[in-house]
Structure 1
Amino acid sequence: MSTLVPLLQTQGLTMRFGGVVANDGVDFTLGEMELRCLIGPNGAGKSTFFKMLTGQLVPSAGTIAFRGQPVAGKASHEIARMGIGIKTQVPNVFNGLTVRENIWLAARRKATPRRINPIVDEILEKIRLGPQANAIVGQLSHGQRQWVEIGTVLAGDPELILLDEPAAGMTDEETHRTAEIIHEINLTRAIVVVEHDMAFIKMIARTVTVFHQGRIMMEDTIDKVLADTRVRDVYLGKKVAA
């Protein structure tokens, strides 16, 4: 009988900066079509973990595998070709082009000429920017520019999307819309979200992985994480009500 290979798995993942251990033997498993949120206080190691997944950092030790294929040490563009889409905190878009042009340029890498326009139209609808399709990206709001980048990631047709603080700097309305967009994307592909905004986490979370001192402290549903006294002590404090 064959063993089911996880979509994404890390084993013993460790990152040292001189004498500082930012991640210490992290074992993490993500299944097909899963939506996972990574949380933790500043310095907990979640950003370092994310940077190793996305090729921004090469681990000091341990492994990262996507569908059983090694990821650690590969460049970001190589990781993208494997089927992992990456959206960092700062929008990486062409401000002088329209929304449609940004999505079209991203889609043409994989789509056939016949399919490219229908794909762009579908993505514009998904990111709620159909009415702004011909707007110059540099003139959009911060939230809308973030959605454009999510659209460019989608255009690469990844099986897994990694999102670094997608709701940072957004208005309440934009944050709610971003949660809707993430839920819709999750109907067809897996997503990992690193986020500080607990109100946003509560909108989207199913399973939450809590980092503390470079390790995974716990992994459970959002309700159980919020109710855990250890999590409250190290991270949530009195700011968040369960």
Structure 2
Amino acid sequence: MPITATRGLPGQVLLALVFNLLILQSILTLPVIGVVSYARLRQEGFRWIGVVGGLGLWLPVLTGTWHGGLFRVAEMVLLSLFFLATSMRLVGLLARVPRVNGQVMAGAAAGYLHLGLTGGVLATATQVLVPGSFNLGASASHQLLLDRLTYFSFVTIAGVGYGDVLPANAVGERFVILLSVASTLYVALLVGLLLGRFIASEEVVMLEDDVLGLDRVDGPRNP
């Protein structure tokens, strides 16, 4: 990721490659949860949003620049929708797991990362659509806009708030409010969900051990 923040062809290629691999991994691994009749339609919509958003990242690589603010906004909105849908599907999947294990914890961490990426691309779309929504700080000239605002997104959801990137108008302030609330709810709800699943799984293990212990004690006397 530090290399993707640099201007020039290597950074753009690596940024497009990283995002496309992330989109491909999400399409291939996440199942569809919901009513069966809508599952295929939702899967196709999810897949095409990801494919179009991923291919759009290669256009500035091939041409050397972004063509117009409207295209950039559309590209960032598509990526935001895809990553937001990915986070929601991860949460839905985690809500259905019977027990907490390493894969479940990895899924929870992936959902948090997707939330940060969603905030970054949506902030980029906001900055392009409404210029001046964010004060990007002194380092803005050395970084791509997407990388700078992705950094701002993760700083915001982590509650760190370094103050080098700031909302500069009402649009930026409302964006920060929404992102802060979404991240707080995600962490709070997910911790409660995983903790509940962990306690339930531990109780099941204890009951199984008690049953096995009783069987070992009563087994020889049971004809």
**Band of TM-score, shorter chain:** under 0.3
Question: What TM-score do you get using the length of structure 2 for normalisation?
Answer: 0.28
More strand per residue: 1 or 2? Answer: 1
Which one has the bigger helix percentage? 2
TM-score (structure 1 length as normaliser): 0.26
Which of structures 1 and 2 has the bigger CA Rg? 2
